[in-house]
Structure 1
Amino acid sequence: MSHLPTGAVRPAGTGERTPARVLAAVREAALAGLSPCAEPRAVISESWTRTLRLGVDPDAGTAHRILSADEIEQRRHSTPLAEVLPSLRDGLVSVADATWHIMVVTDAEGRVLWRDGSPAVRRSADRVGFSEGASWAEGTVGTNAIGTALVTRTPLQVHSAEHFVRTLHNWTCAAAPLHDPRDGRLLGVVDVSGPATSLHPATLALVSAVARVAEGELRTRHWEAVERLRSVGAPLLSRISGQALVVDRNGWTAAVTGMAGTDRVALPSRVRAGQVWLPALGLCELDPLPGGWLIRVGERERPAAANRVVLDLCGAQGGEVTVHGQAGHWSQRLSPRHAELLFVLALHPGGRTATQLAADLFGDPSRAVTVRAEMSRLRRTLGGVLAHRPYRFADGVGVEVLRPGRAADLLPHSLAPAVLAERG
């Protein structure tokens, strides 16, 4: 069985506060390929379908290797989440402890890095494999707040038998994704979990609010680092003739001379010192600085025209674009939204208006302003690769799209109608 039955429209659907026995009946009917007595929530139904396709055991989940203590420590030290762990604990642990819950923080793969809260609930969590180093991705334990939030990139509460694996039906979980404000990269998830009998409708709102506070703290730390870099870069640029910028490791501009300022320069995925071709600036010379880069822009204001673009959508974090031109090639990872936009433009060589793209991405043509803002950012990044009126790849640029082996794995986080149609 690979898909849930559609059936007729039922008079009522399930929700977080639906009695556990009803949720269990809905799940059993879905697993058996029968029409359930009530419709599961759309986000749960879609997750169940993915989980069935992944072959997860509905009784016990999929066996996996627990990370060693050394591997856990290595991941803890390599993630920006360690910087905001005190804020997450301050906002959630006292509440979790008082209500017989635990707070869990995972990385972007769903691996549990930190766990705190009620000792009794932690012991219960150990019995279902909810321990540090364990994988809580959908491919391991099926539908759950952590793994499903990693896929949908949105806050989510999963209650009782909405969990795909039977051994988790005594649990309720609320999770919110955490993103790096410097580049939009998904860092992981913060989650509060506890007994299903302790479901509280405000838990998800609390977890989401604390996640936003943590992201705000990361944003503040980022701009403080940019300010420190500016104090180093501004005196350096005052001694340079011509066009030059000082940027941090993520391309955010700290200082500029001889040219119009820009918020951010798109750096290659594997940036290195020396001569580098940047589609938005041309041939540049990069020199390392503490915490960033000095970019000296070459005489040519723009690079020679690009002739080929490769859009690689086989990765799980959104995808990567590689631009080829006479001066070389350049690669950068894409945010999920930019991956969607470039994919839709690749599907429509003749171009799309902002209104059409809004319908493609959001199912809402009125969101054209949002599309224009995103396309403006993309065009600053990709230089002459993209044209507008309508939005499209520039004339003479060949486009190759690398898709995952299974259509269902195409941009798995995306809810864009155009992407859903291609998966189907």
Structure 2
Amino acid sequence: MDVTQLAAVDTARAARVLDKVRSAALSGQRMPVTPRPVIGQSWARMLRSGVDPDHDFRSGLLSHEEVQRRRQSSTLRHVLPVLREGLLSVADVARHIMVVADEEGRVLWREGSAPVLRKADGLGFQIGADWREDVVGTNGVGTPAVTGRPVQVFASEHFVRSQATWTCAGAPITDPRDGRLIGVVDVSGPLETMHPATLAWVDSVAKLAEARLRETHARSLERLRAVAAPLLARTGGRALVVDRHGWTAAVTGMPYTERLALPKSVSAGMRWLPALGRCSLEPLAGGWLVRAADEPVTRAGARIVLDLREPRRRSVEVSDGSGSWVRELSPRHAELLYLLAVHRAGRSAAALAGDIFGDPARTVTVRAEMSRVRRYLGPLLDHRPYRFTESAEVQTLLPDQPHSLFPHPRDRLTPARGH
């Protein structure tokens, strides 16, 4: 039985079924209906992390000043008009509200039906509230942030009992420049407002927001290209102009590369960069002029530290005798590199697809992600199969509970912490 389809014709019956399913799952009894995989996996994470299903936990709200600071610094502010245009007119009529949260699950904007906003207050779904999954359980803000995909949560699919009168559909919004999560847009309302098409609607508007960000980025590169042209015309040797995120605006004396891997904290001076070796970095308005030194690029004997201890701060650090750099990782890239660290002999695209998605046929997605990884780890990775080079020393730092590393656990080898 598909409970979400049942909910479209009989909301009350679907809610009763899900309440029985949830009670059985929490008590370890046989469930009358198997929950959807995305919900079952979320419940498993909640049970492992110790979220209390009967306790309506609410962390302190952010201050008004902190909310304003986050709004001003968030990339989400650039796509609010798209979200409002695509969601608010329908949401208000359908007795929904639109909620926009940042990458840490903090609610920064909340608009829509006034009566529903008051109901949301009773759930603690307020401006400045923390709706991470590991704080308030399975929900339409925190769960999409963990899984990286759109999720609809209906009635007792919410892990915390007090939210069982609610329905929500949320979709992650990522920065097209680096694939990093910047927030989640969610449409929520009382139980009776549930409709199975809501998720597709919210996801399509989230994708429109990402398209707007791509357009904005393309325009910024065009402006930087106008600045770069006269500079590069006077520059000898290998050089390129990139924006602050490493995207290339113009290049001279070398093959075009779409993006240059920059360390998180970059400053002017001589630096070692992947693929180019030692470089001189000079600041420009909106980016960097990068001049490559005439030295061979080699990473023999490189040491790679894959730090997975903090779920929201996963990173890879590369160092050798010529320098070091650190890069934060998206959840998908962290998972791919973890698998390559475990399987030093290598993994095919089909094997990685099976590891991550449970579907060996999803090789196109894996190859696309590995292509992005190779942009910053290229000299340290081989392919056919994908693997770290034999000369690289790889160390993996794991959290205290390695089984909760990723949202889609598979049967994997787990290296000892620190190895």
Which of 288, 291, 294 matches 1:293?
288
CA distance in 1 between partners of 2:279 and 2:191 (Å): 57
Cα displacement (A) at 1:226: 0.6
CA distance in 2 between partners of 1:357 and 1:151 (Å): 19
Which of 16, 36, 49 matches 1:54?
49
Inter-CA distance 407–200: structure 2 relative to 1 (3 Å threshold): same
- 8 Å CA contact 1:277, 1:303 repeated in 2: no
Deviations 1:205-226 (A, max 9, x none): 1111110100100110011001
Which of 247, 265, 273 matches 1:270?
265
Cα displacement (A) at 1:318: 6.7
Cα displacement (A) at 1:331: 1.1
Would you say 1:129 and 2:104 are equivalent positions? Answer: no
Question: What is residue 107 of structure 1 aligned with on the other side?
Answer: 102
Cα displacement (A) at 1:146: 1.1
CA distance in 1 between partners of 2:351 and 2:285 (Å): 44
Cα displacement (A) at 1:166: 1.7
Inter-CA distance 379–418: structure 2 relative to 1 (3 Å threshold): farther
- 8 Å CA contact 1:306, 1:323 repeated in 2: no
Inter-CA distance 326–16: structure 2 relative to 1 (3 Å threshold): farther
Cα displacement (A) at 1:304: 4.8
Cα displacement (A) at 1:325: 1.2
Question: What is residue 17 of structure 1 aligned with on the other side?
Answer: 6
Deviations 1:319-357 (A, max 9, x none): 211111110111111233322222111111222233333
Inter-CA distance 172–370: structure 2 relative to 1 (3 Å threshold): closer
Question: What is residue 10 of structure 2 aligned with on the other side?
Answer: none
Matches within 5 A, 1:88-167: 88-167=83-162
CA distance in 2 between partners of 1:390 and 1:187 (Å): 32
Which of 62, 79, 104 matches 1:84?
79
Cα displacement (A) at 1:39: 1.5
Question: What is residue 31 of structure 1 aligned with on the other side?
Answer: 26
Cα displacement (A) at 1:65: 1.2
SS at match of 1:158: strand
Cα displacement (A) at 1:239: 0.6
Question: What is residue 219 of structure 2 aligned with on the other side?
Answer: 224
CA distance in 1 between partners of 2:159 and 2:353 (Å): 33
Instruction: Give the letter for the 2:228 counterpart.
Output: G
Inter-CA distance 369–167: structure 2 relative to 1 (3 Å threshold): closer
Deviations 1:118-159 (A, max 9, x none): 111111111111110001111221111111111111111111
Instruction: Give the letter for the 2:73 counterpart.
Output: S
CA distance in 2 between partners of 1:108 and 1:16 (Å): 30
CA distance in 1 between partners of 2:133 and 2:362 (Å): 31
Would you say 1:356 and 2:351 are equivalent positions? Answer: yes
Cα displacement (A) at 1:388: 2.8
- 8 Å CA contact 2:341, 2:388 repeated in 1: yes
- 8 Å CA contact 1:305, 1:326 repeated in 2: no
Matches within 5 A, 1:201-212: 201-212=196-207
Gapped regions of structure 1 (runs ≥ 5): 1-11
Instruction: Give the letter for the 2:4 counterpart.
Output: G
Would you say 1:177 and 2:169 are equivalent positions? Answer: no
Which segment drifts farther, 105-114 or 373-382?
373-382
Cα displacement (A) at 1:54: 2.5
Which of 403, 407, 424 matches 2:402?
407
Question: What is residue 334 of structure 1 aligned with on the other side?
Answer: 329
How does the TM-score come out when normalised to structure 2?
Answer: 0.93
Cα displacement (A) at 1:176: 0.6
Would you say 1:64 and 2:21 are equivalent positions? Answer: no
Question: What is residue 9 of structure 1 aligned with on the other side?
Answer: none
CA distance in 2 between partners of 1:373 and 1:150 (Å): 21
Instruction: Give the letter for the 1:341 counterpart.
Output: L
SS at match of 1:144: coil
CA distance in 2 between partners of 1:128 and 1:33 (Å): 27
CA RMSD, 1 decimal: 1.9
How does the TM-score come out when normalised to structure 1?
Answer: 0.92
Q: In percent, how many aligned pairs have the same letter?
A: 55
Would you say 1:252 and 2:247 are equivalent positions? Answer: yes
Q: State how many pairs are aligned.
A: 409
CA distance in 1 between partners of 2:52 and 2:333 (Å): 35
- 8 Å CA contact 1:13, 1:39 repeated in 2: no
Question: What is residue 6 of structure 1 aligned with on the other side?
Answer: none
CA distance in 2 between partners of 1:369 and 1:55 (Å): 36
Question: What is residue 5 of structure 1 aligned with on the other side?
Answer: none
CA distance in 2 between partners of 1:90 and 1:50 (Å): 35
Gapped regions of structure 2 (runs ≥ 5): 8-13
Cα displacement (A) at 1:314: 1.8
CA distance in 2 between partners of 1:370 and 1:56 (Å): 33
- 8 Å CA contact 1:318, 1:339 repeated in 2: no
CA distance in 2 between partners of 1:374 and 1:154 (Å): 15
Deviations 1:164-200 (A, max 9, x none): 1222111110111100101111011101111101111
Question: What is residue 312 of structure 1 aligned with on the other side?
Answer: 307
SS at match of 1:365: coil
CA distance in 1 between partners of 2:301 and 2:272 (Å): 11
Which segment drifts farther, 337-346 or 323-332?
337-346
Question: What is residue 8 of structure 1 aligned with on the other side?
Answer: none
